């Protein structure tokens, strides 16, 4: 069930795209009181939402959802019922289907969970996160593409044509998760600025390319090398050619891993233009911001790379837990490396109605930065009890793992299906929200679906 979107006034009308409307997540993060008023049609004291749900809210929530919330007494306060929290907004991007556009300059679009049901994410369903302006497609000629390897810790700086790279070095194909560090940001409160990702800044296609290690070693890595940095062909939003939209990288040890690739194909075809054709970096399990698109130059550095979005608060977390809303000094922020354990429910689609007497097949994906997912559990009673799902082995290191199970409903009513993954080091997803941080990174809380058992 979707809340009538007309209740949400467009937040701005500067966009040349079709009228944009604020989603419920955005509304809750920007102004929870107003969101409550819109959702429940009355004023709510934000300090006593639990009381509100108990005394008044349950009846109106049940009315809004259309049936009884069977485990209502177990539902944590302050949660937006998942039935009301869907806000997808299809928009046409060449080669893409069904993505929700969060921003059009730079272009940022995420994938609704039910479109990530394939074991291998098809090109049309892979999210887009641009920090600047993507190069015009006519500038992305694979036959003319060159890659320069340089930097103070490179012995023999060399420029290769893409054709040379493909001929000289052994090809490898690996399925690897690509996930934006900001995925899930929309749930943090106080809200973090930046794209209000819900769950769709992730995908797991099959990438073909060459090992970055092979290329770097060919050019000579000096003993003092500690980091690599990338430069892409995209432009800074200001249009200033001296500025880079983003120029990040990884420590040299990560760069030299077998799975760290310079890729020129995705799912056996050209990489989609918005995803970095004709050449991009792929680092398994790390924040996707390290995976440079349209890559033209890689530098081997004798220090931590200091390109655009490497400093300050960009892609960094406080190295100790902080209270929500804390101003954290820059020197206490550390670079994000591996991504945390996480899962998605990709079938069924949130909001469906299912016969209460029938079992419901449920499935999804689970992944973790380094290591493997050891188990996935599912709950239909707001996390009070959990049942184990069956889980597949990953296609290779850094691929996500499909899981499946069946759930039975005790009676008719409104349910939420929650999924929780645990990795092979015993680390699980938090049920509601992990540690607040200034930029709203690394939210790996459980994914929630709304189901009507009728
Ligand atoms: N050249 C370049 N590379 C880039 C970016 C960018 O804006 N420009 N965005 C980064 C970020 S923040 C993410 S999350 C991923 C997104 O990859 P995708 O757009 O293929 O999904 O690319 C990374 N590589
Ligand atoms: Mo990102």
Region 124-135: mean pLDDT is 96
Q: Hey, is 125 helix, strand or coil?
A: helix
Q: Measure the N-to-C terminal CA separation of the chain; round to a whole number of Å.
A: 14
Region 22-29: mean pLDDT is 53
What share of the chain has pLDDT > 90, as a percent? Answer: 74
Residue nearest atom 16 in ligand 1 by C-alpha distance: 129
Q: What is the pLDDT of residue 37?
A: 60
Q: What is the pLDDT of residue 123?
A: 98
pLDDT at 294 over 90: yes
Please report, for residues 116, 266, 365, the alpha-carbon distance to residue 360 in angstroms, rounded to integers and kept in the order given: 19, 33, 17
Region 116-124: mean pLDDT is 98
Give the residue among 177, 189, 127, 113 at the shortest CA–CA distance from 440: 189
Atom of ligand 1 nearest to the CA of 275: 20
Q: What is the pLDDT of residue 13?
A: 29
Q: What is the pLDDT of residue 264?
A: 98
How does DSSP assign 384-412, residue by residue?
SS-EEPEEPPPSSTT--EEEEEEE--SSS
The Å distance, Cα 50 to ligand 1 centre, comes to: 40
Pick from 272, 288, 314 the residue to mutate for probing ligand 1's pocket: most ligand atoms within 8 Å of its CB. Answer: 288
Pick from 123, 291, 298 the residue to mutate for probing ligand 1's pocket: most ligand atoms within 8 Å of its CB. Answer: 291
Atom of ligand 1 nearest to the CA of 272: 20
Question: Is 132 close to ligand 1, i.e. is its CB under 6 Å away?
Answer: yes
pLDDT at 124 over 90: yes
pLDDT at 425 over 70: yes
Region 349-360: mean pLDDT is 96
pLDDT at 300 over 60: yes
Strand 146-150, strand 295-301: pairing: parallel
Question: Is 340 close to ligand 1, i.e. is its CB under 6 Å away?
Answer: no
Question: Is 129 close to ligand 1, i.e. is its CB under 6 Å away?
Answer: yes
Q: What is the pLDDT of residue 12?
A: 30
Region 81-90: mean pLDDT is 50
Question: Is 26 close to ligand 1, i.e. is its CB under 6 Å away?
Answer: no
Question: Is 294 close to ligand 1, i.e. is its CB under 6 Å away?
Answer: yes
pLDDT at 107 over 60: yes
What share of the chain has pLDDT > 70, as a percent? Answer: 82
Q: Hey, is 55 helix, strand or coil?
A: helix
CA distance 358 to 17: 43
Q: What is the pLDDT of residue 55?
A: 39
- Give the pLDDT confidence of 38-79 residue by residue, as tens digits: 555 444 444 434 443 443 456 666 766 667 888 877 766 555
pLDDT at 302 over 50: yes
Return phi, psi of residue 52, to 5°.
-60, -45
Q: Residue 17's pLDDT band (boundaries 50, 70, 90)?
A: very low
227 close to 252: Cβ distance less than 8 angstroms: yes
Give the residue among 387, 428, 429 at the shortest CA–CA distance from 404: 387
Question: Is 183 close to ligand 1, i.e. is its CB under 6 Å away?
Answer: no
Chain-centre distance for alpha carbon 383: 23
Question: Is 212 close to ligand 1, i.e. is its CB under 6 Å away?
Answer: no
The Å distance, Cα 415 to ligand 2 centre, comes to: 32
Q: Name which of 81-90, 243-252, 434-443 the model is least confident about.
A: 81-90
Question: Is 288 close to ligand 1, i.e. is its CB under 6 Å away?
Answer: yes
- The whole-chain average pLDDT of the chain stands at 87
Region 389-405: mean pLDDT is 98
Question: Is 292 close to ligand 1, i.e. is its CB under 6 Å away?
Answer: yes
Please report, for residues 2, 84, 88, 168, the alpha-carbon distance to residue 415 in angstroms, rounded to integers and kept in the order given: 15, 13, 21, 56
Give the residue among 246, 258, 185, 178 at the shortest CA–CA distance from 217: 258
- Give the pLDDT confidence of 135-194 residue by residue, as tens digits: 988 899 999 999 999 999 999 999 999 999 999 999 999 999 999 999 999 999 999 888
Q: What is the pLDDT of residue 446?
A: 96
pLDDT at 400 over 70: yes
How does DSSP assign 210-275, residue by residue?
EEHHHHHHHH-B-TT--EEEEEESPBPTT--TTS-S---EEEHHHHTSTT-EEEEEETTEEPPGGG
pLDDT at 9 over 80: no
Q: Residue 81's pLDDT band (boundaries 50, 70, 90)?
A: low
Please report, for residues 194, 207, 234, 276, 411, the alpha-carbon distance to residue 106 in angstroms, rounded to integers and kept in the order given: 11, 25, 11, 14, 47
Residue nearest atom 14 in ligand 1 by C-alpha distance: 180
Q: What is the pLDDT of residue 31?
A: 66
Q: Which ligand minimizes its atom distance to the CA of 273? A: 1
- Give the pLDDT confidence of 326-348 residue by residue, as tens digits: 999 999 999 999 999 999 999 99
The Å distance, Cα 438 to ligand 1 centre, comes to: 21
Q: Name which of 80-94, 162-176, 207-221 the model is least confident about.
A: 80-94
């Amino acid at each position: 069930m979707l809340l009538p979107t007309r209740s949400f006034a467009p937040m701005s009308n500067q966009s040349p795209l079709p009228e944009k409307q604020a989603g419920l997540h955005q509304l809750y993060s920007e102004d929870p009181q107003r969101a409550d008023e819109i959702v429940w049609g009355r004023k709510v004291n934000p300090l006593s939402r639990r009381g509100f749900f108990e005394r008044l809210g349950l009846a109106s929530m049940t009315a809004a959802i259309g049936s009884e919330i069977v485990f209502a007494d177990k539902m944590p306060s302050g949660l937006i019922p998942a039935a009301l929290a869907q806000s997808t907004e299809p928009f046409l991007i060449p080669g893409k289907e069904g993505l929700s556009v969060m921003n059009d300059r730079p272009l940022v679009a995420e994938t609704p969970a039910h479109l990530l049901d394939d074991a291998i994410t098809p090109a049309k369903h892979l999210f887009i996160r641009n920090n600047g302006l993507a190069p015009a497609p006519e500038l992305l000629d694979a036959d003319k593409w060159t890659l320069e390897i340089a930097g103070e810790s490179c012995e023999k700086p060399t420029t290769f044509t893409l054709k040379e790279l493909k001929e000289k070095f052994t090809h490898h194909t690996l399925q690897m998760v690509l996930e934006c560090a900001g995925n899930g940001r929309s749930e943090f409160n106080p809200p973090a600025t930046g794209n209000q990702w819900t769950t769709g800044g992730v995908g797991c296609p099959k990438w073909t390319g060459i090992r970055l290690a092979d290329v770097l070693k060919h050019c000579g890595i000096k003993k003092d090398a500690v980091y690599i940095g990338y430069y892409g062909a995209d432009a800074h939003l200001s249009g200033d050619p001296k500025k880079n939209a983003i120029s990040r990288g990884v420590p040299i040890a990560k760069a030299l891993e077998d799975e760290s690739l310079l890729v020129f194909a995705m799912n056996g075809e050209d990489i989609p233009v918005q995803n970095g054709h004709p050449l991009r970096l792929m680092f398994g399990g790390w924040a996707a911001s390290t995976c440079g698109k349209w890559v033209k130059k890689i530098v081997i550095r004798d220090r931590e790379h200091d390109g655009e979005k490497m400093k300050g608060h960009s892609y960094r977390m406080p190295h100790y837990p902080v209270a929500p809303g804390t101003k954290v000094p820059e020197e206490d922020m550390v670079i994000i490396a591996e991504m945390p354990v996480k899962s998605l429910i990709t079938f069924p689609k949130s909001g469906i109605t299912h016969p209460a007497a029938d079992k419901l097949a449920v499935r999804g994906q689970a992944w973790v930065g380094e290591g493997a997912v050891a188990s996935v559990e599912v709950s239909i009673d707001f996390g009070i009890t959990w049942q184990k799902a069956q889980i597949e082995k990953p296609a290779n290191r850094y691929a996500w793992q499909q899981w499946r199970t069946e759930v039975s409903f005790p009676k008719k009513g409104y349910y939420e299906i929650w999924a929780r993954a645990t990795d092979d080091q015993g680390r699980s997803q938090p049920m509601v929200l992990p540690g607040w941080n200034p930029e709203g990174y690394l939210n790996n809380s459980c994914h929630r679906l709304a189901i009507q058992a009728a």
